[in-house]
């Protein structure tokens, strides 16, 4: 139903992943260029010492790759305290949810989601709270946000279908039930 733990797809952020990809591409270009220059030097097309060029190329490539891996490790490491804090808040929200203190649970879930609305478990349980309150438009919104991140969750597709039915959106309800049925097979 729900994935546990840190979603490594979200860490580091897109900009960070792009920088790392760029650095690795540069490292590849440096390595290939160095090998080509050393080869040309070995065949006396260029006045360079091939062994020296290969050595410098390998060292430069290693530096670039190490820098990119350090960036990734640093980005993940800076997120660990944040995730730990979020997990404690989530546990507190679940206590409220299980005790049917829905206002308190919902407030914490909203905080966990943040402006991006990207905390899967908080989205899921917010939808469940709105279901218990018969606030079907909210159920629909939260289910859709959740399904953008977790499209293979049959239970949430069924919940979305129920929300559509309660809002008299029968075609959309049918589509959601079809998607839920596809996940059963």
For residue 143, being part of any structural domain is answered with yes
Q: Are residues 105 and 185 in the same domain?
A: yes
Q: Are residues 2 and 66 in the same domain?
A: yes
Q: Are residues 130 and 67 in the same domain?
A: no
DSSP state of 6: -
Q: How confident is the model at residue 73 (pLDDT cuts 50, 70, 90)?
A: confident
Q: Are residues 45 and 107 in the same domain?
A: no
Let me know: does 129 contact 102? Beta carbons within 8 Å. Answer: yes
Comparing 15-19, 55-59, 91-95, 177-181, the range with the smallest average pLDDT is 15-19
Mean per-residue pLDDT, 9-36: 76
Among 80, 115, 130, the domain-final residue is: 80
| pLDDT per residue as tens digits for the range 110-132 | 999 888 888 899 999 999 999 99
What is the distance between the alpha carbons of residues 106 and 27, in angstroms, rounded to a whole number?
A: 47
Listed as own residue / partner, the contacts of 79-82 with beta carbons closer than 8 Å and 24 or more positions apart are 79/6, 79/11, 79/12
Q: Are residues 112 and 175 in the same domain?
A: yes
Comparing 16-25, 50-59, 158-167, the range with the smallest average pLDDT is 16-25
Q: Are residues 106 and 56 in the same domain?
A: no
Res 179 pLDDT > 60: yes
Mean per-residue pLDDT, 35-40: 95
Res 6 pLDDT > 50: no
CB crowding 48-75: b at 16 or more within 10 Å, else e: eebeebbeebeebbeebbeebeebbeeb
| Confidence at residue 2, expressed as pLDDT on a 0 to 100 scale | 39
Give the CA-trace dihedral at 53, 57, 63, 67, to 10 degrees.
Answer: 150
SS3 content of the chain, % helix, strand, coil (to 5): 80, 0, 20
Q: Are residues 8 and 73 in the same domain?
A: yes
Q: What is the pTM of this model?
A: 0.59
Query: Based on the structure, what is the number of domains in the chain?
Result: 2
Q: Mean pLDDT score of the chain, rounded to an integer? A: 87
| Confidence at residue 185, expressed as pLDDT on a 0 to 100 scale | 63
Among 80, 108, 127, the domain-final residue is: 80
What is the distance between the alpha carbons of residues 56 and 64, in angstroms, rounded to a whole number?
A: 12
More confidently predicted of 152 and 184: 152
More confidently predicted of 89 and 1: 89
For residue 92, being part of any structural domain is answered with no
| Confidence at residue 184, expressed as pLDDT on a 0 to 100 scale | 76
**N-term to C-term CA, the chain:** 16
Question: Which residues make Cβ contacts (< 8 Å) with residue 141, sequence separation at least 6?
Answer: none
| Confidence at residue 15, expressed as pLDDT on a 0 to 100 scale | 60
Structure tokens at 28: 């590849």
CATH number of the domain that residue 159 is part of:
1.25.40.10
Using alpha carbons, select from 118, 111, 123, 116 the residue that is nearest to residue 86: 111
* Containing structural domain, residue 4: 1-80
For residue 146, being part of any structural domain is answered with yes
For residue 149, being part of any structural domain is answered with yes
For residue 58, being part of any structural domain is answered with yes
């Amino acid at each position: 139903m729900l994935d546990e733990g840190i979603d490594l797809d979200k860490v580091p952020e897109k900009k960070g992943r792009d920088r790392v990809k760029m650095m690795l591409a540069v490292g590849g270009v440096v390595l290939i260029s160095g090998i080509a220059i050393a080869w040309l030097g070995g065949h006396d097309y260029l006045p360079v010492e091939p062994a020296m060029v290969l050595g410098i190329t390998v060292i430069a490539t290693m530096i670039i790759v190490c820098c990119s891996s350090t960036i990734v490790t640093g980005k993940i490491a800076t997120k660990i305290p944040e995730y730990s804090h979020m997990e404690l808040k989530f546990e507190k929200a679940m206590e409220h949810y299980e005790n049917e203190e829905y206002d308190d649970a919902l407030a914490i879930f909203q905080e966990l989601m943040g402006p991006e609305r990207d905390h899967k478990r908080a989205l899921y349980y917010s939808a469940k709270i709105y279901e218990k309150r018969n606030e079907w438009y909210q159920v629909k919104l939260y289910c859709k946000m959740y399904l953008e991140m977790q499209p293979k969750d049959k239970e949430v597709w069924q919940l979305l279908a129920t929300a559509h039915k309660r809002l008299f959106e029968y075609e959309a309800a049918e589509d959601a039930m079809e998607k839920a049925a596809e996940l059963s097979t």
